[in-house]
Amino acid sequence: MSAYWILEWITAEELTSLEQAERRLTEKRGLARLVEFAAEQASKPIPVIPEAANQLLGGRGMDLSGVLECSNSKCIKKKVDEVLYRAWHYFDLVVVNGLDSRRFMESLRHKDSMAEEILGRLIAHIDVAFYIRDTGAEGALIFCDRSTHFCQNCLDRDLVAAGFSGSLEEVREKLINSLYRNSKVTRYTTESGEGLYQYEHPALDISTLRRYPRASCPELDEFAQDIAKGQAETYIAHAIRSAAIARKQSAALGHLVARSGVQLEEVAGRPTPQEVAFNLQLPVIQSLPINELLSFRAHEAAEFHAFRAALRMAIEERLKALPDANAEKVAESVYEDVLEPALISLDRKTSKAVDLLAKRSIATLAVGSVVTTVGLLAFAPIVVPGIVIAAGGTLANYLEWVKDRKEVELSDLHFLWQLTEKAAARHSRD
């Protein structure tokens, strides 16, 4: 379902660990098979993405390719978790980008063999692919290569949808200037006399290194402008491509972070329920590992769908009540004014039910039958498996316990309440 060529290679080769994958890459057949999968993916002109009613397209800050953000596998795996923590409570599919098959094939064509740099990047993405499979996220993430080559009409059409205002040239110059200003460039000289240049900017998550022969070392200012231009063009192309795919798929376009120091004007207009859901953070759940979270959602599918329907209704009501608020403010209101009070109420009902049950007058017994005859109810104890409750005053306690427990279990937020209980239990153990 993922259509990600690296995951397909791992499955086809029946690999179970990164160590196995590294050994397979040293074999001529194993490497050839990997290139076959990349070539097949690269040959597809249009990404095939399954239809889904609740679909999220990963935009800025949700890059898993290592191009716009850190390419270290540990950082990408953290980004996988961050994306899924933002999406699990509402979305069925998240469209992301991994190691681009076209870029990979292009890099091979410019190298006589698998260069160390290419191999290192490939192994990092294989490590991420194993993590995605092992956490059960393979069915939730759809990988899509995002070409950065467009005709002028396509660029102009998608520019506003991508969150930019102004003409393409204006946006380009604005972003280049933003990335040029406040940048830090350092030059080192190697033992062989080559110049090693490093570019850093507070708006970017990564630094850029380039090596130049001694005879062609540029001025620091020239180097900074060159890097700013390349970063800006890559960034704009990625944003425009993401917006185009989101519109084609009728998907919500999610941005995790705006680049610090790079001023981009977002499209005006009222936020959608999907945008609010994406901005809704449930901090109490963050202590649960993502694999436990996804597994519980799959196991309790019926309760999850009831919870999501209730969440959407709450979001729509908050949007009506706060017509001028942005997605972040509406999401904050949904949590503070709807979800948190409801969870507290469920907690109180549960605690009350436990207290009532603890007041039973006869000790717990392992009895496997229930007395149901109405005529005997006033005189005989109520017996349930593992519990005996005497007739009289404690009968009312038991019936109230049943009522409170039923209200909790029938609540549309019972799914979320169960998760908070699991998270609290794990936190206490840790």
Q: Are residue 102 and residue 156 in the same domain, yes or no?
A: no
Q: Tell me, what amino acid is at 341? A: P
Q: What's the rounded Cα separation, in Å, for the pair 370 and 387? A: 10
What SS3 state is found at 187? strand
> Between the CA of residue 295 and those of 26, 46, 288, what are the distances in Å?
35, 32, 11
Confidence class of residue 408 from pLDDT cuts 50, 70 and 90? very low
Strand partners, 344: none
What does the DSSP 8-state code read for residue 280? Answer: -
Q: Are residues 77 and 17 in the same domain?
A: yes
* Residue 285 located in a structural domain: yes
Q: Examine the domain organization and report whether 163 and 132 are in the same domain.
A: no
Name the band, by pLDDT with cuts 50, 70 and 90, for residue 327: confident
- Same domain, residue pair 364 and 408: yes
Query: In which band, very low, low, confident or very high, does the pLDDT at 395 lie, cut at 50, 70 and 90?
Result: very low
Residue 53 lies in a domain: no
Q: Is residue 137 scored above 70 in pLDDT?
A: yes
> Average pLDDT for residues 134-143, to the nearest whole number?
88
Same domain assignment for residues 202 and 124 = no
Look up residue 235 and give its two tokens.
Answer: 């960034």
Tokens of 257: 């972070």
Of 111, 143, 175, which marks where a domain is finished? 143
Q: In what order do the strands lie in the sheet with 55-58?
A: 141-143, 93-96, 55-58, 252-254
Asked whether the whole model's pTM tops 0.75, one would answer no
Residue 261 sits in the same domain as residue 285: no
Lowest mean pLDDT among 11-25, 44-58, 196-210, 341-355: 341-355
| Residues of the domain holding 133 | 5-48+70-143
What per-residue confidence (pLDDT) applies to 23? 93
Between 244 and 48, residue with greater pLDDT = 244
First to last CA, the chain: 35
Alpha-carbon dihedral angle through residues 31, 33, 36, 38, given to the nearest 10 degrees: -60
Rounded CA separation 342/365 (Å)? 35
| Ramachandran assignment for 388, one of left (phi > 0), alpha (psi -120 to 50 degrees), beta (any other) | beta
- Report the percentage of the chain scoring pLDDT > 70: 72
Q: Per the structure block, which two tokens stand in for 100?
A: 């681009």
The residue with tokens 């306690």 is 397
Residues 280 and 237 grouped into a single domain: no
Q: Mean pLDDT, the chain, as a whole number?
A: 76
Using the predicted structure, report yes or no on whether residue 33 has a pLDDT greater than 50.
yes
Q: Is residue 55 part of a domain?
A: no
Question: Does residue 355 carry a pLDDT above 90?
Answer: no
Whether 340 and 395 map to the same domain: the answer is yes
- Give the span between the Cα atoms of 79 and 124, in whole angstroms: 14
From CA 132, how far away is CA 203, in angstroms rounded? 28
pLDDT of residue 18: 95
Q: Is residue 59 part of a domain?
A: no
Q: Are 243 and 346 within one domain? A: no
pLDDT in tens, 205-250: 678 889 899 888 999 999 999 999 988 888 777 777 777 777 777 7
- Within 65-113, residue ranges assigned H as helices are 73-87, 101-109
Distance of alpha carbon 125 from alpha carbon 107, whole angstroms? 15
- Please state, in angstroms and as integers, the Cα–Cα distance from residue 312 to each residue in 39, 106, 165, 338, 378, following that order: 41, 44, 30, 12, 46
| Mean pLDDT, residues 182-196 | 90
**108 neighbors 35 (Cβ within 8 angstroms):** yes
The predicted-structure confidence for 251-305, as pLDDT tens digits, reads as follows: 777 776 544 444 444 444 678 888 899 888 887 677 788 888 899 999 999 989 9
Neighbours of 345 (CB within 10 A): 15
Window from 46-55, 60-69, 162-171, 329-338 with minimum mean pLDDT: 46-55
Is residue 98 one of the residues assigned to a domain? yes
Q: What is the pLDDT of residue 304?
A: 92
CB contact at 8 A, 423 and 287: yes
Is residue 295 domain-shared with residue 425, that is, in the same domain? yes
Q: Decide if 186 is inside a domain.
A: yes
> Do residues 330 and 319 lie in contact, with contact meaning Cβ atoms separated by under 8 Å?
yes
Judge whether 62 lies within some domain: no
Quick one: tokens of 81? 């978790």
Check whether residue 189 and residue 119 sit in a common domain.
no
What is the tally of structural domains in the chain?
3
270 φ/ψ angles, rounded to the nearest 5 degrees: -70, 140
How far is Cα 241 from Cα 293, in angstroms, rounded to an integer?
31
Pairwise CA distance, residues 67 & 121, whole Å? 11
Q: Which of 143, 166, 199 is the last residue of a domain?
A: 143
- Whether residues 133 and 157 fall in one domain: no
Determine the pLDDT at residue 131: 95
Tokens of 154: 């396509």
What is the Cα–Cα distance from 87 to 78, expressed in whole angstroms? 14
Residue 64 lies in a domain: no
Q: Which of 94, 109, 143 is the last residue of a domain?
A: 143
Which segment of 42-46, 141-145, 304-308, 367-371 scores lowest on mean pLDDT?
367-371
